[in-house]
Amino acid sequence: MVGKKVIITGVPGVGKTTVVNEALKKLKNEGIEYQSINFGSFMFDVAMADGTVKDRDQMRSLDKTVQKRLQQNAAQAIAKITGNVLVDTHASVKTPKGYLAGLPEWVLHEIMPDLIVLVETDNDQVLMRRLSDETRSRDKEGSKAIAEHQQFNRAIAASYAMLTGCTIKMITNADFLLDRAADDMAAVLR
């Protein structure tokens, strides 16, 4: 059987990884398996090995050419993985010089997703989640900037649908409603 390729996106701190893990638990009980992959980790392994960065949150401030090279390496490695694959990544990356497409044409053509999911929630909730996450160096920005980023992600997702013919699904990961988000996620992964 040919595997499904699903890309999960959402602004930093929205809770992509949490929703994915919950959804995968539900699916496992039904005998549906996905290999879960983190795009940023593929980039980080290379960047750390050559001494470019020490922390994964430093990558988005690297020169654009360097970020794109790491991005292309990651896409090529991920394209080789067979079966049902779920890729945790970003529709766009906020760099000091503006938004960088997370899935430019050459990345999409490597991975060729069936579906792109946008995990979203209220801007204030994203802000609070970032403030309470001590494990990461999340960008310190206000809810207006977070709103802009979430809007930009919807806009750029439309172009990804045009380039690949994939479907785009928005899933809300609201406070206290993780189980609902996980159910919505599981439903599109079945």
Under the criterion CB under 6 A, does residue 5 sit at the interface with ligand AMP?
Answer: no
Closer residue to Mg ion (CB): 63 or 133: 133
The only residue of 3, 4, 17, 73 in contact with Mg ion, by rule CB under 5 A: 17
> What is the DSSP pairing of strand 98-101 with strand 92-95?
antiparallel
In the block, residue with structure tokens 């930093």: 12
Q: Which of 12, 36, 56, 13 is nearest to 185 (CA)?
A: 36
Q: Measure the CA–CA gap between 9 and 95, rounded to whole angstroms.
A: 16
Among 40, 166, 169, 173, the residue binding ligand AMP under the rule CB under 6 A is 40
The rounded distance, in Å, linking the Cα atoms of 20 and 34 is 10
Q: Which of 6, 14, 85, 90 binds ligand AMP (CB under 6 A)?
A: 90
How far is it, in rounded angstroms, from Cα 48 to Cα 59? 10
- 93 binding ligand AMP? (CB under 6 A): yes
Which one, 48 or 170, has the nearer CB to ligand AMP? Answer: 48
Beta carbon nearer to ligand AMP, 57 or 122: 57
Q: Which of 75, 70, 138 is nearest to 107 (CA)?
A: 75
Nearest distance in Å: CB 21, Mg ion: 10
Q: Is 164 in the site for ligand AMP (CB under 6 A)?
A: no
Tell me the window of 26-34, 83-91, 163-171, 180-188 that interacts with ligand AMP (CB under 6 A). 83-91
**Residue ranges that bind ligand AMP, judged by CB under 6 A:** 12, 39-40, 43, 56-57, 59-60, 67, 71, 88-90, 93, 102-103
Residues forming contacts to Mg ion in the complex (CB under 5 A) are: 17
